[in-house]
Structure 1
Amino acid sequence: MNNLFDSAPGFDQPLAVLKHCHDRIRKQLTTLNKMLVHLPEHGADQDAKQAAQAVLNYFTKAAPLHHEDEELNLLPELKQTADGGDAALLAGLLPKILAQHEIMAVQWQQLEKQLQTIVAAADHAPANLSTADVQAFNALYDEHMQIEETQIAPMAKRLFSDAQMSALGAAMQARRGIKV
């Protein structure tokens, strides 16, 4: 039987869970782009409000957990494990990744206010979402995910032992309050 929904990987595959999160982030970024086209013509209609609420839900709940997975578990474990060329590459990437998280948080504060205004607006009221804010947020996330998917995840996959992968998955699961 074909499943109608894409199922998320289990926490026994923590790098796959992180990639799945990136796929969900891409979906939300696509929604923001669609809203830029939708809002000028339709204003804060039900579709716009639902889209805005979906983006709000993801970036206020799931995205911070994803960043914590990286900052509190993945990157520190990788820093402890990497040596030689891997350690040198990581030393160059780590400050950039962490700075990107900080910039994303500031960018999100701007977008969050705009999306909350759309959700709270009267039906079909004129509504605006800053194209510059959306584009900057998209560009930074795109660059960030590229680094993680082409550099960080492959390094972790290559260097982490089964025990390290299991510990990463367990920490990610616990962070989300999911019982074993």
Structure 2
Amino acid sequence: MPNALIAAAPDFSQPIAVLKHCHDKIRKQLGTLQNLLEHISQHGSDAQAQQAADSVMRYFNQAAPHHHADEEVDLLPMLSVTATGEDAALLQKLTPEIMAEHQQMDKLWHTLNRQLTSIASSETATQATPLSMQDVKEFSAIYSAHMEKEETWIAPMAKRIFSEQQMQQLGAAMQQRRGIST
């Protein structure tokens, strides 16, 4: 029996809602990164820090690349084919920005991933490489602004101009990318 108190994740028949749900998960992981900075300064790389580092790495190494591919391979190209007038002009401006931000986030993630790997695999609380406050702040700032841009402009545009068939196509591509059978 499903638990009515637990919010269910949207399914792929609602691809824009799935993308928003991913953003919510990203925000949660960014919060964990912020909390980890403070925790490590007080407790070092203890078991809680190791568990938190592992959780953040698992998300950004597995789920986040799918999310970026959803946007780069499917959502933005589908929008560019469909958008006209002001939508097309806005998309032409935002697409290169979004793609560049993905590259920035990926580069920063590689740096953070090395730091988190050290924390997650440390034998003692003081053995790990420290987590850079500057790297965490920069990663969080870029991701937050990026998600705001997508939620303000891209998602509403897709919801407004995509047909039901396009939504189904987007959802199916996202589902397939994750290896989930229909």
- Give runs of ≥4 in structure 1 deviating > 2 Å: 1-6
Structure 2 match to 1:22: 23
Displacement, 1:115?
Answer: 0.1
Name the structure 1 match of 2:166: 164
Deviation at 1:122, TM superposition (A): 1.4
In the alignment, the residues of structure 2 paired with residue 5 and residue 38 of structure 1 have an alpha-carbon distance, to the nearest angstrom, of 28
Q: How many residues align?
A: 180
| Aligned: 1:136 with 2:170 | no
Residue 67 of structure 1: CA displacement? 0.2
**How far does the alpha carbon of each residue in 1:49-73 deviate from its partner, in whole angstroms, 9 at most, with x for none?**
0000000000000000000000000
Q: Which moved further from structure 2: 144-153 or 117-126?
A: 117-126
Report the Cα distance in structure 1 between the residues aligned to 2:14 and 2:24, rounded to whole angstroms: 15
How far apart are the structure 2 equivalents of 1:94 and 1:11? 23
Q: Which residue of 2 aligns with 1:45?
A: 46
AA matched with 1:157:
K
- Bigger mean CA deviation after superposition, 44-53 or 120-129: 120-129
Q: Is the 8 A contact 1:46 1:123 kept in 2?
A: no
How far off its partner does 1:120 sit? 1.1
Gaps of 5+ in 1: none
5+ residue gaps, structure 2, are none
The answer to whether the Cα contact below 8 Å between 1:79 and 1:90 also exists between their aligned partners in 2 is: yes
The answer on 1:152 being equivalent to 2:176 is: no
Cα distance change on mapping 1:15 and 1:114 into 2, 3 Å: same
CA distance in structure 2 between the aligned counterparts of 1:70 and 1:79, rounded to whole angstroms: 12
Contact 1:11 1:169 in 2 (8 A): yes
* 1:29-178 pair list within 5 angstroms: 29-127=30-128, 128-178=130-180
Provide the TM-score with structure 1 as the length reference: 0.97
